[in-house]
Amino acid sequence: MAPRALITGITGQDGSYLADFLLDKGYEVFGMVRRSSTETFGRIDHLLDRITFIQADLLDQASLVQAMEEARPDEIYNLAAQSFVPTSWRQPVLTGEFTALGVTRMLDAMRQVVPEAKFYQASSSEMFGKVREVPQTELTPFHPRSPYAVAKTYGHHLTVNYRESYGLFAVSGILFNHESPRRGHEFVTRKISDGVARIKLGLAKELRLGNIDSQRDWGYAGDYVRAMYLMLQQDKPDDFVIATGRTHSVRDFLEIAFGHVGLNYEDYVKKDPRFMRPAEVDQLIGDSGKAHKALGWQPTVDFEELVVMMVDHDLALLGG
């Protein structure tokens, strides 16, 4: 019988890549979606007839229990969250409900209905925040710098706690930034690739950004969902950092993206205080040595390839 996977956040960037990956592996995929008056299935349009959708919401415990009962999953990937850092200052309570307490609701529903299943929690490098050491490993202390990061830190500890308290197979993947042509438009990489394409095609004149000196360890989302899967194939549950081990500034991203279409970013980028944050995470760089060894995981797409992939995609999308 095909293994069964329940994915929360299946309409998001990672959910769509994970669904592609698991369907290719022969899984029966159940996608949890929340009710909306407009469809949010753009990223999984090509998979609609291969996924069983279950309506549920991270805010509603009964709906999560019912989702577990319907899917009876062998593996649960909890990717749903309010995932945009700036929104977490504007809606800190909602972010806590979705991104922190949502994890408790999911774990408790699993404990009640399918305690033998394996659970993946989408933790984040944002938990390292004001970093205590460089590079960051599974043992680096957390210093979260936004309500989002605080909520993710709660979800991380809760996952470890449910593993230790109830013996669940529950793991936390501490994933550094990962991007793709399916990235949401408000995140800086997609904002840039879309902006570059618009400027090149004469559809826009400038690109307004916040802090372009901040540094991130950026990888490709397609590589990172493979790591999620590998974590659930181990004999024992454990937590892993997933990163490329290389860091770049937003400025580096701009140079490559504009350079790829023969333009100089300095002629188009304007600093806009609206996109500055109350507290910034200046530099993230991850050490995935443990994942390389235990999971055999390695990234396959480097930074330059990622930038070019995203710009080319947005050019094509806009008819260039």
| Residue 122 engages ligand NAP in binding (rule: CB under 6 A) | yes
Residue 148 annotated to the active site: yes
> Using CB under 6 A as the criterion, what x/- string covers residues 103-142 for binding ligand G4F?
---------------------xxx----------------
Give how far Cα 310 sits from Cα of 77, 273, 314, Å.
Answer: 26, 26, 6
Give the footprint of ligand G4F on residues 201-240 (CB under 6 A): 209-212, 214, 216
Identify the three-state secondary structure at position 183.
coil
Q: Are 225 and 21 in contact (CB under 8 A)?
A: yes
Angle at 104 (CA atoms; ends 78, 57), nearest 5 degrees: 60
- Residues 116, 132: Cα–Cα separation, whole Å: 36
- Which residue lies nearer to ligand G4F by CB, 27 or 303? 303
Query: Which residues make Cβ contacts (< 8 Å) with residue 270, sequence separation at least 6?
Result: 206, 207, 208, 209
Token pair recorded at residue 33? 């979606």
In the list 20, 51, 54, 83, the residue contacting ligand NAP (rule: CB under 6 A) is 83
> Using CB under 6 A as the criterion, what x/- string covers residues 156-195 for binding ligand NAP?
-------------------x-xx-----x-----------
- Which H or E run includes 219? strand 219-220
| Residue 21 engages ligand G4F in binding (rule: CB under 6 A) | no
DSSP one-letter code for 267: G
Residue 309 CB, nearest approach to ligand NAP (Å): 15
In this structure, how many other beta carbons lie within 10 angstroms of the beta carbon of residue 141?
Answer: 11
- Which H or E run includes 250? helix 250-260
Residue 93 CB, nearest approach to ligand NAP (Å): 13
Give the footprint of ligand G4F on residues 135-194 (CB under 6 A): 176-177, 186-189, 191
Q: What positions carry a catalytic annotation?
A: 124, 126, 148
Using CB under 6 A as the criterion, which residues of the chain lie in contact with ligand G4F when the complex forms? Answer: 83, 85, 124-126, 176-177, 186-189, 191, 209-212, 214, 216, 250, 275, 277, 280, 284
